Amino acid sequence: MLPIVILIAGLTLAWSSGVLDYFSFTTLRENRDVLQGYVADNPTISVLAFMAIYAVAVALSLPVGSLLTMTGGFLFGVWLGTAYAVIAATLGATAVYLAARYAFYDLMHAKAGNAIRKMETGFAENAFSYLMVLRLIPLFPFWLVNLVPALLGVKFRSFVLGTAIGIIPGTFVFVSIGDGLGALFDQDKTPDLGIIFEPRILTPIIGLAVLAMVPVLYKKFRQRATGASHDE
């Protein structure tokens, strides 16, 4: 239970200390020259600090993911910002997955019985595809998608790959917005975070989610075809 206790303590400290108040567009605007100057003078430390803050924020399920992703674009550009954000988010998500897996997996299975085992079997057979869909389309909160696979026994490799690959499109969109924050700040504006739900952005992402489900649909089709042939 120690990892869970640490995460809960960190979450409580973050909320009670008021540190979340510093995660805002106002903070970025007022400190843009200082931040960009520090990144230029200390590139390695800046990257490590950004990724550490991002990973901890994800591990503690703090509601600052979108802002941090845009900050990556603001400080490092589109391509490097996307890479750093994806790696950091995956590390943070994996920390939650491992903590939940070791703390609650055995307990939940002992209490839930056959019901959870059926869910686990269905999810595990196509874990990578399901994770890709859940990561591509934000139907559920990011923290919830970190917990559920751990409780359903999804393998570590499937979780990491599904998370890392699945969050790339959405991350790229927000990092691209962040790359243009300087121009918005010059106009005393803030970005529209609802842009990811615009058809021109959301349609390709949904297309990728559908593509991720193709192996699942194909497998079910094969099973039905095989069952039908045996019946004949």
- 118-153 confidence digits (pLDDT tens): 667 767 778 888 888 888 887 788 888 888 888 888
Query: Does the pLDDT of residue 232 top 60, yes or no?
Result: no
Mean of pLDDT over the chain: 83
- pLDDT (mean) for 48-75: 94
> What was the pLDDT predicted at 187?
82
Among residues 57, 66, 76, 12, which one has the least CA distance to residue 174? 66
Dist CA 125 CA 127 (whole Å): 6
> What was the pLDDT predicted at 39?
95
Residue 198 backbone phi and psi in degrees, to 5? -70, 145
How confident is residue 116, by pLDDT bands cut at 50, 70 and 90? Answer: low
What percent of the chain lies above the pLDDT cut of 70? 80
Query: Does the pLDDT of residue 208 top 80, yes or no?
Result: no
Say which residue, 111 or 92, is predicted with more confidence. Answer: 92
Least confident of 27-31, 137-141, 174-178: 137-141
Say which residue, 165 or 197, is predicted with more confidence. Answer: 165
Q: Which residue has the tokens 């962040």?
A: 178
- pLDDT (mean) for 35-55: 95
User: Which pairs with CB-CB distance under 8 Å and at least 24 residues apart come from 25-30?
Assistant: 25/67, 25/181, 25/190, 25/191, 28/71, 28/74, 28/181, 28/185, 29/185
Alpha-carbon separation of residue 16 from 54, 142, 157 (angstroms):
19, 22, 35
